[in-house]
Amino acid sequence: MPADVIMYSTRFCPYCMRARRLLKKKGIDFEEIPVGGNKELWEEMEQRSGRNTVPQIFIDDESVGGYDDIAALNQQGTLDQKLGI
């Protein structure tokens, strides 16, 4: 069963675009929470992840970091397992 994936992002962030592309390539449906211009959602993202950069990605409620982090997991061969695919 595929994992529940949430990504906090902004619209034109290049790392957000790369993360979207990687997740879509994997065939993963994910909830995207746009934090650009929304102070409350940005603070929620910071509190949940402990980071203040986008994107912030959660797989089954586990903070896995941003694009560089999921790209590294993908390269190590562990991203598919986390995603449940």
The CATH number of the domain holding residue 34 is 3.40.30.10
Whether 7 and 30 have beta carbons less than 8 Å apart is answered as yes
**Each residue's pLDDT tens digit, 15-63:** 999 999 999 999 999 999 999 999 999 999 999 999 999 999 999 999 9
pLDDT (tens digit per residue) in 4-13: 999 999 999 9
- Structural domain boundaries enclosing 16: 5-83
Q: What are phi and psi of 58, to 5 degrees?
A: -120, 130
pLDDT at residue 62, as a whole number? 97
Count structural domains, the chain.
Answer: 1
Contacts of 62 (CB under 8 A, 6+ apart): 82
- Peptide bond before 55: cis, by omega within 30 degrees of 0? yes
pLDDT for 1 beyond 90: no
Query: Where are any strands of DSSP class E within 1-85?
Result: 5-9, 31-34, 56-59, 62-65
